[in-house]
Amino acid sequence: MGINANGRPATRVVKIRVRRYDPETGRRWWQEYRVEAKKGTTVLDALLKIKAEQDHTLAMRYSCRMGACGSCGMLINKMPRLACETQLLELGTDTVTIEPLPNFPVLRDLITDFGDFFKKHRDIMPYIVRESKKENEEPYREYYMPPDELNKIIRYSYCIMCGLCYAACPVVAIDKKFLGPQALGQAYRWVTDVRDEGLRLRLEKVDDKHGVWRCHFAGSCSAACPKGVDPAQGIQLLRSKLVALTAGARRDKKPTHVATPTTVRYVDVGDAPKPTVEDKSLLVKHLEETAQELEQDLPYVAQALRDYLRTITSS
Amino acid sequence: MGEKRKPRFLENRLGIMGNIVPWVLMIRDNPERVAFVLHRLTGLLLIIYLPVHIFVTSMTVNPQKWEDFLRLEENPLAQFFLWILFGSIVFHGLNGIRLLLVEGLGKGIGKPEPPEPPYKPTSLSSAQRKWLYAVFAIWLIVWIVGGIILFREFGWV
pLDDT of A144 reads: 74
Domain that includes residue B138, residue range:
32-57+79-111+120-157
For residue B80, give the DSSP letter.
Answer: H
In a domain, B36, yes or no: yes
Over residues B13-24, mean pLDDT: 88
- Mean pLDDT, chain A, rounded, equals 87
In a domain, B5, yes or no: no
Over residues A177-198, mean pLDDT: 92
* Minimal CA separation from B50 to chain A, in Å: 22
Poorest-pLDDT segment among A77-81, A149-153, A279-283: A279-283
**Cβ pair A171, A215 in contact under 8 A:** yes
Contact state of B123 with A220 under an 8 Å Cβ cutoff: no
Whether the per-residue pLDDT at A314 is higher than 60: the answer is yes
Poorest-pLDDT segment among A28-32, A302-306, B5-9, B86-90: B5-9
CB-based contact (8 Å) between B32 and chain A? Answer: yes
b/e for B20-31, b at 16 or more Cβ within 10 A?
A: eeeeebebeebe
CB-based contact (8 Å) between B5 and chain A? Answer: yes
Question: Higher model confidence: residue A288 or residue A50?
Answer: A50
**Cβ pair A140, A261 in contact under 8 A:** yes
Over residues B106-123, mean pLDDT: 88
Question: Higher model confidence: residue B153 or residue A33?
Answer: A33
**Cis peptide bond upstream of B118, omega within 30:** yes
Whether the per-residue pLDDT at A282 is higher than 90: the answer is no
Compute CA A99 distance to the chain's CA centroid, rounded to the nearest angstrom: 22
Nearest to B95 by CA among B53, B51, B142: B142
CB atoms within 10 A of CB B144: 13
Whether the per-residue pLDDT at A276 is higher than 70: the answer is no
Whether the per-residue pLDDT at A272 is higher than 60: the answer is no
Residues 6+ away with beta carbon under 8 Å from A248:
none
Break chain A down into helix, strand, coil percent, rounded to 5. 40, 15, 45
pLDDT of A14 reads: 94
Residues 6+ away with beta carbon under 8 Å from A227:
A67, A158, A159, A160, B115, B119
Distance CA(A183)–CA(A178), nearest Å, equals 10
Categorize the per-residue pLDDT at A269 as very low, low, confident or very high, splitting at 50, 70 and 90. low
Identity of the highest mean pLDDT range in A205-214, A269-278, B24-33, B135-144: B135-144
* Minimal CA separation from B140 to chain A, in Å: 20
Q: Kindly write down the DSSP assignment for every residue of A54-91, as one continuous string.
A: T-TT-----SSSSSSS---EEEETTEEEEGGG-BHHHH
Categorize the per-residue pLDDT at A51 as very low, low, confident or very high, splitting at 50, 70 and 90. very high
pLDDT of A260 reads: 59
pLDDT of B65 reads: 84
| Cα distances (angstroms) measured from residue A270 to each of A98, A144, A275, B51 | 51, 11, 15, 68
pLDDT of A100 reads: 96
Whether the per-residue pLDDT at B24 is higher than 60: the answer is yes
Q: Which residues of B touch A220 (CB under 8 A)?
A: 25, 27, 30, 32-33
Would you kindly state where each structural domain of chain A is located, as residue ranges? 11-112, 116-246, 280-314
Q: Give ∠ CA A227-A233-A235 in degrees, rounded to 5.
A: 110
Over residues A230-249, mean pLDDT: 89
**Cβ pair A181, A232 in contact under 8 A:** yes
CATH 3.10.20.30 is held by the domain A11-112? yes
Over residues B95-119, mean pLDDT: 90
Compute CA B65 distance to the chain's CA centroid, rounded to the nearest angstrom: 33
Over residues B108-135, mean pLDDT: 91
pLDDT of A268 reads: 53
Categorize the per-residue pLDDT at A1 as very low, low, confident or very high, splitting at 50, 70 and 90. very low
Contact state of A105 with B106 under an 8 Å Cβ cutoff: no
Categorize the per-residue pLDDT at A155 as very low, low, confident or very high, splitting at 50, 70 and 90. very high
In a domain, B11, yes or no: no
> Over the stretch A86-118, which tens digit does the pLDDT of each residue have?
999 999 899 999 999 999 999 999 999 999 999
**Cβ pair B62, B55 in contact under 8 A:** no
Over residues A198-209, mean pLDDT: 90
Categorize the per-residue pLDDT at A218 as very low, low, confident or very high, splitting at 50, 70 and 90. very high
Fold annotation for A116-246: Fumarate Reductase Iron-sulfur Protein; Chain B, domain 2 (1.10.1060)
pLDDT of A285 reads: 85
Among B9, B26, B102, select the one facing A236 at the smallest CB separation: B102
Distance CA(A224)–CA(A206), nearest Å, equals 23
Residues 6+ away with beta carbon under 8 Å from B90:
B138, B139, B142, B143, B146
Contact state of A104 with B12 under an 8 Å Cβ cutoff: yes
- Mean pLDDT, chain B, rounded, equals 89
Distance CA(B129)–CA(A19), nearest Å, equals 35
Contact state of A228 with B106 under an 8 Å Cβ cutoff: no
State the DSSP H helix or E strand holding residue B139, giving kind and residue range, or none if neither.
Answer: helix B127-152
pLDDT of A256 reads: 56
In a domain, B150, yes or no: yes
Q: Mapping DSSP to helix (H, G, I), strand (E, B) and coil, where does residue B93 land?
A: helix
pLDDT of A145 reads: 77
Over residues A285-314, mean pLDDT: 85
CB proximity under 8 Å: B 58-97 to A: none
Over residues A11-16, mean pLDDT: 93
**Cβ pair A239, A176 in contact under 8 A:** no
User: Closest chain A residue to B109 measured between Cα atoms?
Assistant: A233
pLDDT of A3 reads: 61
State the DSSP H helix or E strand holding residue B42, giving kind and residue range, or none if neither.
Answer: helix B31-58
Distance CA(A62)–CA(A82), nearest Å, equals 10
In a domain, B145, yes or no: yes
The β-bridge partners of A35 are: A14
Over residues A209-213, mean pLDDT: 93
Whether the per-residue pLDDT at B143 is higher than 80: the answer is yes
> Over the stretch B34-72, which tens digit does the pLDDT of each residue have?
999 999 999 999 999 999 889 888 888 888 888 888 888
Nearest to A170 by CA among B21, B82, B109: B21
Whether the per-residue pLDDT at A157 is higher than 80: the answer is yes
Torsion over CA: B136, B142, B148, B153 (sign) = negative
Over residues B105-133, mean pLDDT: 90
Distance CA(A211)–CA(A205), nearest Å, equals 7
Poorest-pLDDT segment among A265-274, B9-18, B129-138: A265-274
pLDDT of A262 reads: 54
Distance CA(A214)–CA(A107), nearest Å, equals 28
In a domain, B37, yes or no: yes
The domain total for chain B is 1
Identity of the highest mean pLDDT range in A122-131, A270-279, B17-26, B83-92: B83-92
In a domain, B96, yes or no: yes
